[in-house]
Structure formats: C-alpha cells, structure tokens
C-alpha cells in the first residue's frame, strides 16, 4: 500500500509513527527519513522521502499546521502526478466495481423496503 508511489530513493525504514500535529482523521505517518501516506485518492498509498522537494513541502505544511483537506489535496495531486498509469487504471477499475456493487445493494434494499420484505 505504501508503495503505490515512492518519491525519492533510499532505505525507508520499517517503522513509522502517526503524525499527531495534523488534526483530523488521516493515515499520515513518519519516521526520520520518510512520510508514509495511506488512504490517498482511490485508496492508494505513497512513501515520500523527506529529503525530496515533495518531502520538504509536506514537512512545511505540517509545521505550518496546514488544514488536513489542503494537505490531502496536495498528496492526491502527487499521487496522480507520479503513479504508474497501469496501476492507476487498476485502481479506477476497482473503484468502479465497488461503486457498482454498492449501488446494486442499495437499490435492492430500497426495493425490499418498498415491497415490505
């Protein structure tokens, strides 16, 4: 999940800590060299090395107490910029299938309720 997109190179470590400085529900963690980001657009995840321009921007946003929606928008933009097109296509297909199934289940429940079943 953290490897859908990797920005930078090096040893990313094997443990991270939740970033508590960002208010709200999110999946942003860090260690001394990387940010680990989950639940980005289309359920993707990403690792950003802190020594990259993108890593420095994320750190600046955290230090400035940037609101979570703005941080998420920035991260989603990075995903879309760096993700492999085939991986993006696969994620879109999964999202479409899940949406279709949720709609089908919702419509079936609506019909059962209308029929009193």
Q: What is the pLDDT of residue 68?
A: 92
41-65, pLDDT tens digit by residue? 898 999 999 999 999 999 999 999 9
Q: Are 77 and 112 in contact (CB under 8 A)?
A: no
Model confidence, pTM: 0.77
Q: What does the DSSP 8-state code read for residue 44?
A: -
- Residue 98, Cβ neighbours under 10 Å: how many? 11
C-beta atoms surrounding 30 within 10 Å: 21
Q: What value does the mean pLDDT of the chain take? A: 89
Token output for 55: 């890593």
**How does pLDDT run across 59-93, given as a tens digit for each residue?**
999 999 999 999 999 999 999 999 999 999 998 99
Instruction: Spell out the domain ranges in the chain.
Output: 1-83, 84-117
Each residue's pLDDT tens digit, 10-43: 877 777 888 887 877 888 899 999 999 988 889 8
């Amino acid at each position: 999940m953290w490897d859908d997109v990797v920005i930078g190179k090096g040893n990313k470590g094997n443990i991270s800590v939740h970033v508590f400085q960002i208010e709200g529900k999110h999946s942003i963690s860090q260690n001394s060299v990387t940010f680990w980001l989950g639940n980005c657009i289309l359920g993707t995840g990403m690792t950003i090395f802190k020594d990259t321009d993108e890593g420095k921007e994320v750190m600046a946003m955290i230090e400035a107490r940037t609101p979570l929606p703005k941080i998420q928008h920035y991260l989603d933009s990075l995903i879309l910029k760096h993700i492999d097109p085939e991986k993006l296509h696969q994620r879109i297909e999964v999202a479409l299938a899940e949406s279709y199934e949720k709609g089908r289940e919702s419509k079936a429940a609506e019909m059962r309720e209308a029929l009193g079943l």
